[in-house]
Amino acid sequence: MPHAIDHIVHASRDLAAQAEFYRRLGFHVGARNHHPWGTENHIVQFPDHFLELIGRGPGFRAPVDLDPHVFSFAGFVSDELTRAEGVSMLAVQTKDAAATRAAFKAAGLGDYAPFHFERKGKRADGGESHVAFTLAFAHSPLMPRIGFFACQHHRPEDFYAPEWQVHPNGAVGIAGVVIVAENPAAHAEFLSALTGQREMLATSMGIDLEVADEQSIEILTEAAFRYRFGVAALGEGLDQPRIAACRIAVRDIGVLADILDDNGIAAEEVGNRLVLSPTTAFGVALAFEAVTE
């Protein structure tokens, strides 16, 4: 089975403002968490995947002189924030990070040491939780501005909570991510190895890999992106390829439209989507679309 999306890492220079923005969009945003390597985050949960809002914590210092076989999560996020805000990393799901790491190595996606970490947290009922993860990183030299990894949850019962997955805007999950690249076909082999999806739809606009029911990873040209989403993909001077959009499925687009209107948040109606531009949504286009039955 292909590796579905586990989460996206949406980085910002002002994490508090970003979290408040997501609340104004009608999401239930979790508490602020601190990583031992200096970044901080908020989680927006869905039943088996999530959005990670992330930024540098107070006194953050980027790591230096790392072993080339060590992928620095904090260093990558920090480096990207020196360039621009936006979705800097994409994580796919795995139930066995060690096996996935071996598969990545065999496919030529890098030979990075596994990255395991744990932290304490709070359950929805206020009790203490203990979550643990192992990450297996992958790298594409053709997509140096995007971090890729597989994420294994060792205690998902302590991480996911149905109470935190009920969002006032009716959001039910990540429908997909969209990468903008000058030559989408050049990245097909890497994404196939990353996700385990051998079949893809190729058109003149780009390529589309379905990684789960109603969930996909797309790569489009900049012109195709503007046609599909009605906004420019990237800011001036930003290198491609980059993750330019996150598609969010909602139950009722009208409910979302009312929330945006009430909170003075501008969105463009593009076909069956409401699209927030990257200049509004901290460096990434957020495209909301009604869930298909």
Which residue, 180, 179, 185, 173, is CA-closest to 212? Answer: 173
**Lowest model confidence (mean pLDDT) among 37-46, 115-124, 242-251, 281-290:** 115-124
Q: Do 151 and 13 share a structural domain? A: yes
Q: Which of 164, 187, 219 is the last residue of a domain?
A: 164
Same domain assignment for residues 14 and 137: yes
153 shares a domain with 207: no
Average pLDDT value over all residues in the chain: 93
Does one domain contain both 226 and 243?
A: yes
**Percent of the chain scoring above 70 in pLDDT:** 97
Is 152 found in the same domain as 252? Answer: no
Domain boundary among 113, 148, 164: 164
- The per-residue pLDDT for range 190-223, each reduced to its tens digit, is 999 999 999 999 999 999 999 999 899 999 999 9
pLDDT band at residue 64 using 50, 70 and 90 as cut-offs: confident
**Residues 113 and 56 grouped into a single domain:** yes
Verify that 78 and 201 share a domain, yes or no: no
**157 and 70 assigned to the same domain:** yes
My answer on whether 155 and 189 are in the same domain is no
pLDDT at res. 236:
57
Nearest-CA neighbor of 49 among 224, 204, 247, 194? 247
| CA distances, 79 to each of 23, 76, 153, 235 (Å) | 27, 5, 26, 17
**Which residues span the domain enclosing 258?**
168-290
Return the exposure string of 110-133: e unless at least 16 CB atoms fall within 10 Å of the residue's CB, then b. bebeebeeeeeeeeeeeeebebeb
Instruction: Cis check for the bond before 241: say yes or no (omega within 30 of 0).
Output: yes
- pLDDT band (50, 70, 90) for residue 1: confident
Neighbours of 272 (CB within 10 A): 10
Verify that 16 and 156 share a domain, yes or no.
yes
pLDDT value at 293 more than 70:
no
86 and 109 share one domain: yes
Given a cut of 70, whether residue 270 has pLDDT beyond it is: yes
CATH code for position 225: 3.10.180.10
Looking at residue 65, its pLDDT comes to 65
pLDDT in the model for residue 232:
81
At 43 the three-state DSSP class reads strand
> 32 with 19: CB under 8 angstroms?
yes
Contacting residues for 97 by C-beta, under 8 A, at least 6 apart: 114, 134, 135, 136, 150, 151, 152
Q: Which of 4-8, 117-121, 184-188 has the lowest mean pLDDT?
A: 117-121
- List the structure tokens of 32: 């602020």
pLDDT higher than threshold 60 for residue 89: yes
Return the higher-pLDDT residue of 92 and 234. 92
Tell me, yes or no, whether 126 and 145 share the same domain: yes
- 144-198: per-residue pLDDT in tens? 999 999 999 999 998 999 999 999 999 999 999 999 999 999 999 999 999 999 9
Last residue of a domain, one of 108, 137, 164: 164
Q: How many structural domains are present in the chain?
A: 2
Which is it for the CA torsion 41, 162, 262, 8, positive or negative?
Answer: positive
Q: How far apart are the C-alpha atoms of 39 and 260, rounded to whole Å?
A: 29
